Structure 1
Amino acid sequence: MSFLLGLKTANLALRFILELCALAAAGYWGFKAVNTWFLKGILGIGTPLVIAVVWGLFGSPKAAILLSPGLHLILEVIVFGLPIIFLLLADKIGLAWMYGIAAVINKVLMHVWNQ
C-alpha cells in the first residue's frame, strides 16, 4: 500500500470519527442545555437522532436520496458545523476548536482527493 493511499484511508476514517463526534457533541449539549430530565432526554437523545437520520438519508456516501453538490455542501456545513456551536454552548471551547479544525482539514482533503 502506498503512503498516499494510507493517508486517503486515514482521511476517510477521520470523516467517520467526525460523524460520531458530531452525534456525541449534539447529545452532550442536549443533556447540558436544560434542567429537567424529561427535556434532557428529548434533546440529549432526539438531537443526535435527528442529525443521524438526516445525514443517513441525504448526506452519507450510501444516502437513499442524492442531493445536488451544492445542497450536499450546505448539508455538510450544517451537520459538521452544528457540533462546533453545541460545544461552544456547552462551554467546551477547546473541543470546539479541535473539532472545527479537524473538520475543515478533512473536508479540504476530501475535496483535493475527490473522496
Structure 2
Amino acid sequence: MRIANLGLRFLLELCALTALAYGGWLAGGPHLWQRVLLAVLAPLAAALIWGRWVAPRSDRKLADPLRLIPEWVVFGAATAVLVLAGHPVLGGVLAVLAAANRFALWRLQSDTDGRAIG
C-alpha cells in the first residue's frame, strides 16, 4: 500500500508541475516568447520550492507539519490555475487526490520518501 501511495504522490507532483506550465502558457501574453517563458518559469519556481523544502533528499527538508506549507503552496497554486483556466473539475480532483494521498501516507506512518516515521 505504501508503494502505491508513493507512486500516486509522484504522479500528483508531475500533474501539479504540468498544471503550472499550462497556467504559465495561458497567462503568458500576446507573444510566443512570453508564453514559453512563463510556461517554463512557473513550474520551475514550484520545483525550486519543492526541491528545497519537500524533496526527500533535500538537506533543508522541513519536518511535518511545517512541510505541509510548501506542499500546499505548490498543490494549491496548481489547483487555482486549473480552476481559473476553466477546469474546475480537474482542479478539484487534483486537490482532493493530493490531500487524500498525504493523509494516506500519514496513516501508513510513511514519510514522502517511503521511510517509516514515528
TM-score w.r.t. length of structure 2: 0.85
1:18 aligned partner, one-letter code: L
Please identify which structure carries the higher helix content.
Answer: 1
Task: Flag structure 2 segments of 5+ consecutive residues without an equivalent.
Answer: 111-118
Aligned to 1:107: 102
Instruction: Pick one of 79, 88, 100 that aligns with 1:84.
Output: 79
Structure 1 residue 35 corresponds to structure 2 residue 30:
yes
Indicate the RMSD between aligned Cα atoms, in angstroms: 1.3
Secondary structure of the residue aligned to 2:62 is coil
Deviation by residue 1:41-95 (Cα, 9 ceiling, x = unmatched): 2210001011112211211111121224343111111112111001011111121
1:75 aligned partner, one-letter code: P
> Identity percentage over the alignment?
34
Structure 1 residue 57 corresponds to structure 2 residue 39:
no
Provide the C-alpha distance between the structure 2 equivalents of 1:49 and 1:104, rounded to a whole number of angstroms: 22
TM-score w.r.t. length of structure 1: 0.87
Provide the C-alpha distance between the structure 2 equivalents of 1:113 and 1:38, rounded to a whole number of angstroms: 45
Length, aligned pairs only? 109
* Aligned ranges 1:18-29 → 2 under 5 Å: 18-29=12-23
Dislocated runs of 4+, deviation >6 Å: none
2:42 aligned partner, one-letter code: T
